[in-house]
């Protein structure tokens, strides 16, 4: 007798069950009745614990995973191809959607690449660079919070989930205040930023730092010493330094193997060499070590945010070159944020030249000299590299993102094979893959 949820089908490869939940016992009974101990489980692509649409193909023998493979591509949206049909500035609207949990890292890495091609790295105003660092560090907090929250939820620790999303919400509120959007900001633009901080933002930022300093120890109290949490995390998802280097794993995975490699220190960009912070490492090579590293990185991010706030000096946030600077004079209108009516009045009514300039820059964009550049930033997941190629036109010729989630996810097989089925979820969560970045 079978329920409609788990109808067996005989195929040439063996019996196939489609499992939708609540009927695992029946599968086990049926499998026990047959003489084949080996089961291939297709986890996903729609399982809630798979961080988007990741498909895991596991060959299991009893409770042991003998082989593990990933099926990816379910979230491929052709962003890299689409970029080739938009202007350089429009590119930020696309790249921000790649790894949707780290939008500011995608935008900054892309803009640093474009600026390198343009040769204007030295002309980016200080205030814009400080604000980029500030936004990236806030973003590191929100990304790590999601990782810890969902990782906890996958263990059944829903309190961590509630805590994580509660604090992430505070970061998203700041993003909304500063950029107008909670996600997909397109706020960092080639040459600087779309606009300056709104009034009152600095006070809210200080308030946020104060709140987070109170909230972060709660994760320690709740999870760090928790014996159940440790039992589930320690020695799970093991990948040592050799494995990390061979598989190209970066970010918390590499640092959990004891190597303090962080691009902010080893290949600084955006003036990171002038900030005072530490790169935490662990030597346990496991999921627990990665959890501790993420917690510590959040504390370090708060330190950097405080330094950013102290450094903010009044000034422009866009490069002075009017042939590159997007003529965005944004203002809040009755129908939301848009071009400032004063700016439109000026270019439409009084300055024909300004109108032509605005029109040309918005429709045609600027030309970027021929060549290629590679820029990389340390995203919360690891090295986020951008390879930008220009043929001298107003559109990118080719943009390739080396997304850390994509590379790190390759390590899934090495971390899971030989372990238990239940540990697969913990190992994948410790990689912190985001399929928007993996599939692009």
Partner 1 sequence: MSDEHNGSSVPAPRDEHGEVIGVRRGMFGANNGGDTSGYGGLVRTVALPGASSRPYGGWFDEVADELEGALEEQGLVPENAIEKTVVDRDELTFHIAREHLVNVAKTLRDDPALRFELCTGVSGVHFPGDKGRELHAVYHLRSLTHGRLIRVEVSTPDEDRHLPSLVPVYPTNDWHEREAYDFFGLVFDGHPALTRIMMPDDWQGFPQRKDYPLGGIPVEYKGAQIPAPDQRRSYS
Of the candidates 266, 320, 332, 342, which one interacts with partner 1 according to CB under 8 A?
266
CB of 410 to partner 1, least distance (A): 5
Of the candidates 103, 191, 365, 396, which one interacts with partner 1 according to CB under 8 A?
365
Site membership for partner 1, residue 400 (CB under 8 A): yes
Segment interacting with partner 1 (CB under 8 A) among 34-42, 48-56, 163-171, 386-394: 386-394
CB atoms < 10 A from the CB of 390, how many? 23
The answer to whether the CB of 145 falls within 8 A of the CB of 167 is yes
The answer to whether the CB of 293 falls within 8 A of the CB of 261 is no
β-strand partners of 71: 55
Of the candidates 394, 417, 420, 421, which one interacts with partner 1 according to CB under 8 A?
394
Check residue 21 and give left, alpha or beta (phi > 0: left; psi -120 to 50: alpha).
Answer: left
Distance in angstroms (rounded) separating the CA atoms of residues 315 and 125: 8
Would you state the structure tokens that stand for residue 125, as one six-digit string?
A: 């105003």
Of the candidates 8, 14, 22, 119, which one interacts with partner 1 according to CB under 8 A?
119
Helix (H) or strand (E) holding 336: strand 336-339
**Given the complex with partner 1, which of 149 and 435 has the nearer CB atom?**
435
Segment interacting with partner 1 (CB under 8 A) among 40-48, 70-78, 181-189, 214-222: 70-78
Distance in angstroms (rounded) separating the CA atoms of residues 121 and 108: 12
Query: In the range 148-207, which residues lie near partner 1 by CB under 8 A?
Result: none
Site membership for partner 1, residue 398 (CB under 8 A): yes
Would you state the structure tokens that stand for residue 46, as one six-digit string?
A: 């729609």
First-to-last alpha carbon distance for the chain, in angstroms, is: 44
> SS3 of 379, please?
strand
Site membership for partner 1, residue 22 (CB under 8 A): no
Site membership for partner 1, residue 76 (CB under 8 A): yes
Of the candidates 123, 197, 397, 417, which one interacts with partner 1 according to CB under 8 A?
397
Site membership for partner 1, residue 376 (CB under 8 A): yes
Segment interacting with partner 1 (CB under 8 A) among 95-103, 247-255, 277-285, 349-357: 247-255
Segment interacting with partner 1 (CB under 8 A) among 78-86, 184-192, 204-212, 287-295: 78-86
Of the candidates 60, 65, 72, 193, which one interacts with partner 1 according to CB under 8 A?
72
CB of 220 to partner 1, least distance (A): 30
SS3 letters across 169-194: HHHHHHHHHHHCCCCCCCCEECCEEC
CB of 373 to partner 1, least distance (A): 6
Q: Give the residue from 82, 81, 41, 85 showing the smallest Cα distance to 59.
A: 41
Would you state the structure tokens that stand for residue 424, as one six-digit string?
A: 């697969």
Site membership for partner 1, residue 86 (CB under 8 A): yes
Number of continuous H segments (helices) and E segments (strands) in the chain: 18, 12
Distance in angstroms (rounded) separating the CA atoms of residues 287 and 252: 10
CB of 242 to partner 1, least distance (A): 10
CB of 105 to partner 1, least distance (A): 15
Of the candidates 26, 42, 343, 374, which one interacts with partner 1 according to CB under 8 A?
374
DSSP state of 286: S
Q: Give the residue from 164, 182, 166 showing the smallest Cα distance to 174.
A: 182
Of the candidates 14, 22, 62, 78, which one interacts with partner 1 according to CB under 8 A?
78
Residues forming the site for partner 1 (CB under 8 A): 72-73, 76, 78, 80-82, 84-86, 116-117, 119, 245-250, 259, 261, 266-267, 364-365, 370-374, 376, 383, 385, 387, 389, 391-395, 397-398, 400, 402, 406-407, 409-410, 439-440
């Amino acid at each position: 007798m079978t329920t409609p949820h788990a109808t067996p089908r005989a195929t040439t490869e063996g019996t196939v069950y489609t499992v939708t939940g609540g009927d695992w016992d029946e599968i086990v009974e049926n499998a026990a009745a047959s003489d084949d101990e080996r089961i291939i489980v297709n986890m996903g692509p729609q399982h809630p614990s798979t961080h988007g649409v990741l498909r895991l193909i596991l060959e299991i023998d009893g409770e042991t995973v003998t082989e593990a493979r990933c099926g990816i591509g379910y979230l491929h949206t052709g962003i890299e191809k689409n970029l080739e049909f938009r202007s350089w500035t429009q590119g930020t609207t696309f790249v921000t959607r790649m790894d949707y949990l780290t939008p500011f890292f995608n935008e900054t890495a892309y803009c640093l690449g474009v600026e390198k091609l343009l040769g204007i790295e030295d002309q980016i105003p200080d205030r814009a660079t400080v604000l980029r660092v500030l936004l990236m560090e806030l973003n590191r907090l929100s990304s790590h919070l999601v990782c810890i929250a969902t990782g906890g939820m996958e263990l059944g620790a829903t309190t961590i989930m509630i805590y994580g999303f509660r604090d992430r919400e505070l970061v998203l509120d700041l993003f909304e205040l500063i950029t107008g959007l909670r996600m997909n900001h397109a706020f960092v633009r080639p040459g600087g930023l779309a606009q300056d901080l709104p009034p009152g933002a600095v006070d809210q930022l200080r308030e946020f730092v104060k709140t987070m300093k109170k909230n972060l120890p709660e994760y320690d109290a709740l999870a760090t010493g928790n014996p159940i949490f440790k039992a589930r995390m320690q020695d799970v998802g093991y990948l040592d330094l050799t494995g990390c280097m061979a598989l190209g794993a970066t970010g918390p995975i590499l640092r959990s193997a004891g190597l303090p490699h962080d691009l902010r220190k080893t290949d600084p960009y955006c003036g990171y060499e002038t900030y005072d912070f530490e790169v935490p490492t662990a030597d346990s090579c496991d999921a627990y070590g990665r959890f501790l590293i993420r917690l510590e990185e959040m504390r370090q991010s708060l330190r950097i945010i405080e330094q950013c706030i102290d450094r903010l000096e009044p000034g422009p946030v866009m490069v002075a070159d009017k042939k590159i600077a997007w003529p965005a004079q944004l203002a809040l209108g009755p129908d939301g944020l848009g071009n400032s009516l004063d700016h439109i009045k000026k270019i439409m009514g009084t300055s024909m030249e300004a109108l032509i300039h605005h029109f040309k820059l918005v429709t045609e964009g600027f030309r970027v000299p021929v060549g290629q550049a590679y820029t990389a930033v340390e995203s919360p997941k690891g090295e986020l590299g951008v390879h930008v190629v220009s043929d001298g036109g107003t559109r990118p010729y080719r943009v390739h993102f080396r997304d850390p989630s994509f590379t790190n996810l390759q390590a899934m097989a090495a971390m899971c094979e030989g372990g238990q089925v239940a540990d697969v979820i913990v190992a994948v969560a410790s990689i912190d893959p985001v399929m928007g970045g993996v599939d692009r």
